[in-house]
Every structure is written in structure tokens, then in C-alpha cells.
């Protein structure tokens, strides 16, 4: 089961996360979408893969996404849980700082990078939503086939 965790302040990351869920559910009806604030290590431990969707704020991960990773970091290390993860960053004009920070944290748990991190810049327009849907579908399909 793919767990899609998101944090969104303006709603853009939320739209992308919902599109990713739609794509994931085409492959696996059990895929789950959850707000970062509602998720902890127990929810992550029930998943087979984790897709984190959030914004870049001030060159780093958005606060809600960072809070989620800070809360699950040591509990997941203690559980010796290693999951494949994906990253979808919503950004105004950059996004690379958030990707770098998330990668560093995931390496420390350690989770394995299943997909190349995706940055979607600007509004959640039709193309952005399609890209997010494809990302979710690809991740869920890979999990179902056992290739991650």
C-alpha cells in the first residue's frame, strides 16, 4: 500500500497530492492519502511505500513536512524500517532546496529513493495535475510489481 503524505498551506500541494492519489488508486485501490499533521511512525509502518508531497518554503521543506519527518525520524530508525519513497515538491520557481533537505533526511532513516524527486513549479494546472497523477500511478505500479 502506498501512503501519500502531504502538507499544504495554499492548497497547491494538496491538489497535487490528490491527483497523485487518483493515479495511485488506478493501480492499487488501497493507496492512502493523509495530511502530514495526522501521520506518525505508526501510519508509515503500515505502508509499503511513502510519497511525500509538500512545498518549498524559503529554500527548504515546508514546516509541516519537516515537522512530520522530525517526528518519525527516530521511531522509524528504531523500527529498522526501510521503505521506498518518492518526493513531489510544489514550488514557485525553484524547489531544489526542499529536495536536497528531504533527501538528506530520508538517507538518515534510511529510506530508499524509488523515483527521481519531482518538482512542479507554479499553479496546479491541468499539466501539473496530470504529472502528479502519473507519478502516483508509477509509484503504485512499481510497488505492486515489487520493483522498488
Query: Which residues of this chain interact with ligand FMN, rule CB under 6 A?
Result: 8-14, 54-59, 62, 90-95
By beta-carbon proximity to ligand FMN, the closer residue of 76 and 99 is: 99
A 10 A CB-CB count for 129 gives: 19
Taking every pair of C-alpha atoms in the chain, what is the biggest distance, in angstroms? 41
Q: What is the Cα 98 distance to its own chain's centre?
A: 12
Please report how close the Cβ of residue 125 comes to ligand FMN at its closest, in angstroms.
12
Q: Distances from the Cα of 122 to the Cαs of 101, 112, 117, in angstroms?
A: 20, 28, 16
By beta-carbon proximity to ligand FMN, the closer residue of 10 and 82 is: 10
Q: Distances from the Cα of 144 to the Cαs of 53, 138, 140, in angstroms?
A: 21, 10, 6
Give φ, ψ of 56 to 5 degrees: -90, 125
Q: Which helix (H) or strand (E) holds 113?
A: strand 112-113
Please report how close the Cβ of residue 142 comes to ligand FMN at its closest, in angstroms.
25
Please report how close the Cβ of residue 12 comes to ligand FMN at its closest, in angstroms.
4
By beta-carbon proximity to ligand FMN, the closer residue of 124 and 143 is: 124
By beta-carbon proximity to ligand FMN, the closer residue of 93 and 126 is: 93
By beta-carbon proximity to ligand FMN, the closer residue of 7 and 76 is: 7
Amino acid at each position: 500500500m502506498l501512503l501519500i503524505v502531504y502538507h499544504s498551506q495554499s492548497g497547491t500541494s494538496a491538489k497535487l497530492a490528490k491527483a497523485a492519489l487518483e493515479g495511485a488508486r488506478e493501480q492499487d485501490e488501497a493507496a492512502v492519502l493523509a495530511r502530514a499533521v495526522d501521520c506518525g511512525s505508526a501510519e508509515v509502518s503500515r505502508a509499503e511505500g511513502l510519497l511525500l508531497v509538500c512545498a518549498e518554503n524559503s529554500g527548504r521543506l515546508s514546516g509541516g513536512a519537516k515537522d512530520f519527518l522530525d517526528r518519525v525520524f527516530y521511531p522509524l530508525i528504531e523500527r529498522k524500517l526501510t521503505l521506498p519513497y518518492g518526493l513531489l515538491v510544489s514550488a514557485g520557481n525553484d524547489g531544489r532546496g526542499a529536495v536536497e533537505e528531504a533527501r538528506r533526511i530520508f538517507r538518515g532513516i534510511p529510506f530508499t529513493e524509488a523515483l527521481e524527486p519531482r518538482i512542479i513549479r507554479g499553479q496546479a494546472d491541468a499539466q501539473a495535475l496530470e504529472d502528479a497523477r502519473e507519478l502516483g500511478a508509477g509509484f503504485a505500479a512499481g510497488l505492486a510489481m515489487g520493483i522498488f
